[in-house]
Structures are given as C-alpha cells and as structure tokens.
Amino acid sequence: KILGEYPEMKTKIKDLMPEIKKAVSEVNKLSVKKQGSELLKIDKHALDKREERHELPEIKGIKIGKCSFRLPPGPEKELHIGHALSYLLNNYYAKKYKGKLILRFEDTNPEKCEQRFVNGNKEDLKSLGITWDEEYYLSDNLAEYYNLCEKLLKSGDAYSCNCPSEKMSNNRKKRIRCPCADKKLNNNLRDWNKMKYGTYHEGVCVIRLKADMKSKNSVMWDPVIFRINKAKHYRQGTQFNVWPLYDFTAAIEDAKITHVLRDANWTQRIELQDFIRKKLGFRNNPVNILYSRYQVEGGVTQGRTIRELVENKTVEGYDDIRLATVKGLLRKGFLPETFMELLKEAGITKSKTTIPLEKLNTINRRMLDKKVNHYFFVENPVLLLVAKAPEKIVKIPLNPYTNKAREVKVNGKFHISRSDVVKGLIRLKHAYNVKIMKTGGDEAIGEYVEENIIKNVPIIQWVKGDEGVNVIVREALPLFDNKGNLNKESIIEHRGMAENAVLDLPIGSQIQFERFGFVKKEANSWILTHN
C-alpha cells in the first residue's frame, strides 16, 4: 500500500531496506499495547477489524423452496436504518432458502398513509438491493376483513361497544368486562352496519374482541379490532368508514406466510394473534422467530421525531444527511452493502442490541477505502510559490490498491491548506520537498529542496497553482445535543479548492479527498461521508 501511494520509491527500495529493517527492529522492541497506541496516532482506524466473515444463523426445520417471509411497511413515513436491517433480514432468509418474499403495505390508517411514502418505501427497498415476489395493500382487503369481523360477531367472539374511551380504558385496567359484551347479536349487527354505512360518528362505537379478561397478558383484555375513521384514504378514497387495527390484520395476513421475523418486544401480541386465528378457524400459525430490535445510537430514528423535523422544515427533507433514514444515509454516501454487513456483524439475539452509529461508519469507511479514487482538496487555500522548482510531471495514484494513476504537470505554483502553512520543511505529496521561508496573507514563499523523501517531514496535499475548482463540502453534525436540545448549527461548510479532475466526475460520485475525508458529489456541493 505504501509503494502504491509513493510509486517513485519502487526504484529505490534497495537503498531503503536498511532504514526499513531498522524501523522494524525498533517496533518489535515495543510491547503489543505500545505498538497499538503508536499505530493509532498515525491512523485512528488502523485497528478496525477487517475482512472478518460474519454469517447469520440457520433457521431450524425450514423447508427449502416452501417458505415465505414478509416486508410489512406502514406507508406513514420513510424507512430508517432500523427498518432497513429488519427488511434485509427477511430478504436474506427468503433468498437463502429459495422462499417467497411478500411486500405488504399495512395502510389501514387513512389519516397518515400517503402514496408518496409507498413510493419512497419501494425506492428505499430497491436501493438496498431487496427484491420481492408479491406486492399487495391491506386496504384492498377491507371486504375480506369486514366478512371476518361479521363472522366473529355472529359466533359471539366480538361485540360492539359504545362506551367512552376513558371508561373502556379504566374497565380494562380493572379487568372488568364491558356490559356491552352481553348485547344480543341483532344489536351488535345493527351497530356494525351503522358504523359501516357512516351513520355513527367517529368515537361513537367500536368493535371489540371477546378475548380473556383474566389473562395476565394485557393485550388479551377485549381489545378494539375495528374503529370508525372517515378520513379520506390515499388509495380507497372515502368508500370505507370503518378500519381494522393492527392485531386483527396481522393475525390474518401472517397466516398466509410460513415465517414471521418479529421484534421480541412484541412477544405478547403473538398470544392475541393466535387467539384471533383460532376464533376465525384458521388452521396454521406462522413460525415466529424473535429477535431484539436494533437500537441505533447516535442517529435520529424515531418516526414521529423525524416527521416533525421534516414538517417543521428543521431539516431539508427525509433525505437530509443528518437523519438516520435510508434516504439520508444513502445520500450521505453509505453503500447499500454496508447495511447488510452491519446486520451480519450485529447478528440475531433476543438480548438488547444497541449499535453505535460509529459502527456503521467504520464498516462503510472500510468498504469505501478500496473502491473510491483519491483526489486532492485544500481547505481555506493559500498560494505557495516555490523558487527554483523544476517543471515536472507528477504521477499520482488514483487508489493505493490499484495501479491506476493520473499525471499532473507542476511548475512551482501550488495551493495548499492554510493550516499546513508553517515555516520550515514540508513535502508536497508525490512531488518534492519545499522549505517555506515566508508566510502572510493568502500567499507563502518557499524554495525547492529535493525530490528524495526526508524522514519526519510533514507530507501535505496540494492543488496545482494555475488551476483548481472552488468546492464546498457540507458536514453533518448531531441534530441534538446530549440534553436533547436542537443543535441550530448542525450543518457546517468547509470551503476550499480541489483539483480540476473532479469537475468531470458525475453527480453521485464518491471519492476520497486525501487527508480530509470520503465525500460524495451533489449538484452544487459535496457531502462529507466520513473524515
């Protein structure tokens, strides 16, 4: 890698061997701990784990080619990293066992579901490399849900309830069954029809499941399974006045697949959904595979918080680079394969799984390192004039891991970062050594010394003095401080100059600005992915 960065040294390797052997000998005298600390001074990511193979566990008893999994987004919001990991998990097992992957939009909340979120969710899934075999929408199944609700009413396993929500809640807490449960069938069906045909206003009546008020599991205390909501639905318009709640639809739809990968926090809902399926006469329950929800530290993932930030225009949109949404992370420069690698490293466990956002950064940085080309960028540039400098063509590697390089003709004029302007010796990377003798303002004066590398001389990047393109690099900082207060300066701009070669790169290109960070090109600026 070192010879890749300094190809001019390949012809001098024999002369360097004594120095190399001496350096190796000195390092070997240090303890392992001391070696590590010295290495981190040079590269803070030097000890990151690399090239480890991680695999997700097998599913016992699964039948290859005869299994099915589901992706169940609610189109009320855009997907965030937690959704991404969950859906990648389902996609992984569906592909591994040659099963069917079903995309079902749980769009039974007419007030919040929107077509733009349907489109956005599908776009995110495709961006992550997820492909599915079937696609459908729960709102298209309202007629089926209505028929099944009537079946429960007629069998005495559900009833209409006209009690105020506060009274209903208090009775449930006391495990007191509502007197409405004793209504005659005709009264239940009459209420049901008034709900369906819009006679009743919202909140006047609901349909409740007659479950088990003595159960230790609170979700079994006669939960509401249908409620009135007359809001216009993005897909169905105003033709429906009554909408099912989650546990009812999940019980029905999950019966159509073989394996449900479920957040362990939802364990108590399994009992309720199994109960609903039993009362409806369904024969099979899916296999539930429980795992802890992936909690990501250091990023905004709460759906309600993200929605408020977007609606209040605190952020630019759901693809804002400060958000841990799929769109925001991809726009910032995270590779789709990074998410899958994170999933494999995190694994599946029922214990609480907390993933620092820095872990995602580490994986992505590792993947970008071998993929992207390197270019020079100088922040807050100063013009360096080098006296007695020879005209020469400098060969600069595009990537240390490849043999590709670019050639730049230099003539003694360079732009360098203001922070690198100090009197004394410096080395212009891949070019030669310069002694800076005079500094001040936006210009520095130096003198050519020699081409050979001089030990312990700082090596800096540069941009050719008679060219260069002005560049703005936007960096995202945390949206909230440690106390939860909004950080009003969570985007900072780095202004500087990059070499002309970046002008020809298409929008979306990802590169590394050496000694600065990995960046991604947008129409009018660049985004800092990692430093």
In this structure, the answer to whether residues 315 and 183 fall within a common structural domain is no
Strand 392-397 to 405-410 pairing: antiparallel
In this structure, the answer to whether residues 332 and 438 fall within a common structural domain is no
Residue 137 has pLDDT above 50, yes or no: yes
Residue 173 has pLDDT above 80, yes or no: yes
Rounded to an integer, what distance in angstroms lies between the CA atom of residue 493 and that of residue 471?
Answer: 10
In this structure, the answer to whether residues 434 and 523 fall within a common structural domain is yes
Nearest 5°: phi and psi at 215? Answer: -65, 150
Do 168 and 159 meet the contact criterion of CB atoms below 8 Å apart?
no
Amino acid at 326: V
Residue that terminates a domain, selected from 259, 291, 323 = 291
In this structure, the answer to whether residues 324 and 462 fall within a common structural domain is no
Nearest 5°: phi and psi at 14? Answer: -65, -40
287-306 residue pLDDT tens? 999 988 888 887 788 888 99
What is the per-residue pLDDT for 13?
66
187-243 residue pLDDT tens? 999 999 999 999 999 999 999 999 999 999 999 999 999 999 999 999 999 999 999
Residue with tokens 């961006």: 127
Residue that terminates a domain, selected from 272, 291, 310 = 291
What is the per-residue pLDDT for 31?
79
Q: 149: which DSSP letter? A: H
Helix (H) or strand (E) holding 470: strand 469-476
309-362 residue pLDDT tens? 999 999 999 999 999 999 999 999 999 999 999 999 988 888 878 888 889 999
What is the per-residue pLDDT for 1?
45
Output the DSSP codes for 10-77: GGGHHHHHHHHHHHHHHHHTS-HHHHHHHHHHH-TTTTS--S----PPPPTT--TTS-EEEE---TTS
Residue that terminates a domain, selected from 291, 319, 353 = 291
Q: Ramachandran region of residue 397, left (φ > 0), alpha (ψ -120 to 50) or beta?
A: beta
414-437 residue pLDDT tens? 999 999 999 999 999 999 999 999
Picking from 47, 82, 54, 51, the residue whose alpha carbon sits closest to that of residue 345 is: 54
> What percentage of the chain has pLDDT greater than the value 70?
95
The CATH number for 109's domain is 3.40.50.620
Q: Which two tokens stand for residue 450?
A: 């020699």
Calculate mean pLDDT across residues 380-387.
Answer: 97
Residue 6 has pLDDT above 50, yes or no: no
What is the per-residue pLDDT for 7?
45
261-282 residue pLDDT tens? 998 888 899 999 999 999 999 9
Split into its structural domains, the chain has a count of: 3
3-state secondary structure of 389: coil
Residue with tokens 């206003």: 201
Q: Residue 229 is part of which domain span?
A: 140-291
The CATH number for 425's domain is 2.40.240.10
What is the per-residue pLDDT for 40?
76
Give the list of residues 6+ apart from residue 157 with CB closer than 8 angstroms, or none: 209, 210, 279
In this structure, the answer to whether residues 334 and 193 fall within a common structural domain is no
Do 82 and 34 meet the contact criterion of CB atoms below 8 Å apart?
no
In this structure, the answer to whether residues 94 and 156 fall within a common structural domain is no
Q: 456: which DSSP letter? A: T
When comparing pLDDT for 15 and 124, which is higher?
A: 124
Rounded to an integer, what distance in angstroms lies between the CA atom of residue 385 and that of residue 483?
Answer: 49
Distances (CA, A) of 354 to 161, 189, 482: 42, 48, 17
What is the per-residue pLDDT for 472?
98
What is the per-residue pLDDT for 43?
64
Task: Look at residue 14 and tell me if it is in a domain.
Answer: no
Burial 81-106 (b: 16+ CB within 10 A, else e): bbbbbbbbbbbbbbeebebbbbbbbb
What is the per-residue pLDDT for 12?
61
In this structure, the answer to whether residues 257 and 390 fall within a common structural domain is no
Q: Which two tokens stand for residue 240?
A: 């429906």
Range list of β-strands (E), 398-465: 405-410, 413-417, 424-428, 433-440, 443-448, 459-460, 463-464
Lowest mean pLDDT among 148-157, 280-289, 297-306, 465-474: 297-306
In this structure, the answer to whether residues 393 and 270 fall within a common structural domain is no
Residue 445 has pLDDT above 60, yes or no: yes
Residue 28 has pLDDT above 90, yes or no: no
A 10 A CB-CB count for 246 gives: 18
Rounded to an integer, what distance in angstroms lies between the CA atom of residue 430 and that of residue 245?
Answer: 65
Range list of β-strands (E), 162-271: 206-209, 224-228, 242-244, 259-263
Give the list of residues 6+ apart from residue 350 with CB closer than 8 angstroms, or none: 264, 290, 291, 292
In this structure, the answer to whether residues 475 and 394 fall within a common structural domain is yes
In this structure, the answer to whether residues 224 and 348 fall within a common structural domain is no
Picking from 324, 482, 464, the residue whose alpha carbon sits closest to that of residue 383 is: 464
Task: Look at residue 486 and tell me if it is in a domain.
Answer: yes
Picking from 115, 97, 96, 95, the residue whose alpha carbon sits closest to that of residue 105 is: 115
What is the per-residue pLDDT for 74?
96
Rounded to an integer, what distance in angstroms lies between the CA atom of residue 262 and that of residue 260?
Answer: 6
Can you state the angle between helices 142-155 and 246-254, rounded to 10 degrees? Answer: 100
